[in-house]
Amino acid sequence: MSVLVGKKAPKFTAEAVINGGEFVDNFSLEQYIGKKHVVFFFYPLDFTFVCPTELIAFQDKLAEFEKRNVAVVGCSIDSKFSHWAWLNTELKNGGIKGVKYPIVSDLSKTISENYDVLAGEYDYSDEGEMQFRGAPVAYRGLFLIDKQGIVRHQIVNDLPLGRSTDEVLRMVDALQFFEENGEVCPADWHKGKEAMKATAEGVANYLSKH
C-alpha cells in the first residue's frame, strides 16, 4: 500500500455524476486547486450495504464540510449509469437519493490503482492467462488534499469497516488550524482546544497542563 501523504494527489479525468443526477464527462480534482481543500474517498460498490451508510453520512455532514470550504468527492469502480441509478433510488429501497456531491466513475479501475486502494491486482495464471486476484473493487480509502493538491492525510479501511465522518472533519479542522496558525495539533485535538508550538518547550508546556 502506497503512502501518498506529502505527495501530489494523482491526477485523473473521468466521468462523474454531480448534483444528484447530472452527467459530467471530464471531471477532475484540478478544478479545486488554489480554491478548496478536498476530501476524496473511495467505496467498493453501488447498491451494497455499508456503502450507502457512508455516502449518506457524508451528505448529512456536507454543510459542515462546505462551511470549511472543503469539497467532498466520492469514487467507485461503477459506471456513471450505475451511480445515476443509485442516486435516483429512495433510501428505503437501498438508494442514496439526496446525495449531491460528485461521485466519480472509475470503471477502468485506473484511479483506484493510482491511489493504490484497489483490493487486488491483475496477474497471469500458470497457463499465461491474465486474471484478477482479490476483489476488483476499491478499499475504503480516503484522502485529504490541500489547496496545492498535496495529500495531507490518508486512511484506508478494509471492505467491511465503515469510516467516521466526524474523524474526517476533525482532520480537516486540524489541517486548517495548522495552516492558519502554524501550531501543531496533539493527540485527540478538536477544534477549540489548545494546540502547541512544534518545539521541545512547546511540548513540555502542553504536557504540563494535561
Q: Which three cell numbers stand for residue 13?
A: 479525468
Write down the residue that cell numbers 471531471 correspond to: 27
- For the four alpha carbons of 156, 44, 61 and 64, in that order, the dihedral sign comes to positive
Question: Using CB atoms within 10 A of its CB, is residue 72 exposed (0-12), middle (13-18) or buried (19+)?
Answer: buried
List the catalytic residue out of 9, 51, 117, 118: 51
Q: In Å, how far are 64, 68, 81, 97, 141 from 17, measured between CA atoms?
A: 21, 23, 9, 13, 19
- Integer Cα distance of 120 and 130 in angstroms: 13
- Integer Cα distance of 29 and 133 in angstroms: 29
Residue 185 a catalytic site member = no
- Which residues are tagged catalytic? 51
